[in-house]
Amino acid sequence: MQKLSDKLYNWASILEENTLAQAVTASEMPFIYPHLALMPDAHLGKGATVGSVIPTLGAIIPAAVGVDIGCGMIAVKTQFKTADLKGKNLSALRHSIERSIPLSAGNANRRLTETAKVRVAELESVAPRNYDNITKGDWRLQLGSLGSGNHFIEVSLDEEDNVWLFLHSGSRGIGNQLATRHIREAQQYTAKNRITVPDRDLAYLVEGTPEFDAYIADLIWAQKFALANREEMMDRVIKDFQHWYGEPIQELERINCHHNFTQRENHFGRNVWLSRKGAILASEGTLGLVPGSMGTASYVVAGKGNKLALDSSPHGAGRNYSRSAARKKFSQEQLRAAMKGIEYRDTDDFIDEIPQAYKDIDIVMRDAADLVEVRHTLRQILNVKGD
């Protein structure tokens, strides 16, 4: 860990100059308290660095959460072992999952499953306003859809040959639309009140204003949607696995955690709004999930409650190359080599997700040694993504 200033602590041993400069700028906002914590997977983001933990007093920066509100991970440990899968056709399971769950940006369900109907009813009952009037499309049909980019569904094996089901997604189009709306409103608020910010994506809302209250209400709801979205998809993956295998799954453990979110927390004697943009809650004993990248290890972790890190840890590997740069640098053949032994959809659409486009997850986890304890190391044998 490095103390870069009174307002910036850093756990990343791999840190690009532009990423550091962005983090420094964010840490100097006047309402940061006690300091900004930069996680080992930190990389350049929009306004605020991805992989940063941002505590604020009396204000909140919508772009510091980002447009995928509530994005995170869910994992289920099953009773199955590696030997149980010997001779089984993983391609058939992959195709089944790809049929059950809408993949790729903009795709949604044609109709709701019975479990999705229950989850939608719960979300409707706590919605702070009518989202049909402010969003494009039917948000209900987005529940149980994956998206694209680094979102994935995997079947993995841990160090004791236990089979895990693992997936990554967030609040989909509804979360994006709400976040974009509030980022724009924050920019309008600062302009109207003649507030100068070093980056327009560091525009903020002030606590006690209607704009602030509206954002918090939508944020909390979108985080609930993201949790429900992952639960719905996991239930479908379990159903597909059971049908494919011919035997019910016994859930030995289920972990569901955000890594793009804001909540009220107490740090260094003050109640703050704690925004984790690409970071997970790692209070002492709290279980979390840290994915690597396509073709590399992921981790089940328990938090160590590091106070200087504001009870946080990294959320993944963090990018080394932008998507456009990765597509120019790497080839489909290199992706095939990286994915050797893993069942996946062989297409050049995923070149920008090649493991080499990300930081070395082993280095990230070494940097996080005083933030989390590794409980399980997962290696995927099947991967599903949206293009």
Q: Which residues are CB-neighbours of 32 under 8 A, at least 6 positions away?
A: 7, 26, 54, 55, 56, 57
Mapping DSSP onto H, E and C, the string for 9-58 reads EECCCCCCHHHHHHHHHHHCCCCECCCEEEEEEEECCCCCCEEEEEEECC
Of 92, 68, 261, 279, residue with least CA distance to 180? 68
Active site (annotated) includes residue 315? yes
Pairing of strands 205-206, 253-258: unpaired
CA distances from 179 to 185, 254, 323 (A): 10, 28, 22
CB of 107 within 8 A of CB of 169? no
Helix and strand numbers, DSSP H then E, in the chain: 8, 17
Give 44: exposed, middle or buried? Use CB within 10 Å, 0-12, 13-18, 19+. middle
Pairing of strands 36-43, 8-10: parallel
Q: Which residue has the tokens 């987005």?
A: 142
E-only strand ranges, 94-192: 152-157, 162-169
Catalytic residue among 43, 258, 315, 376: 315
Give the angle subtended at the CA of 159 by the CAs of 155 and 163, to the nearest 5°.
Answer: 30
CB of 282 within 8 A of CB of 299? no
E-only strand ranges, 170-230: 205-206
Of 345, 156, 120, residue with least CA distance to 241? 156
CB of 377 within 8 A of CB of 295? no
- Tell me the catalytic residues: 315
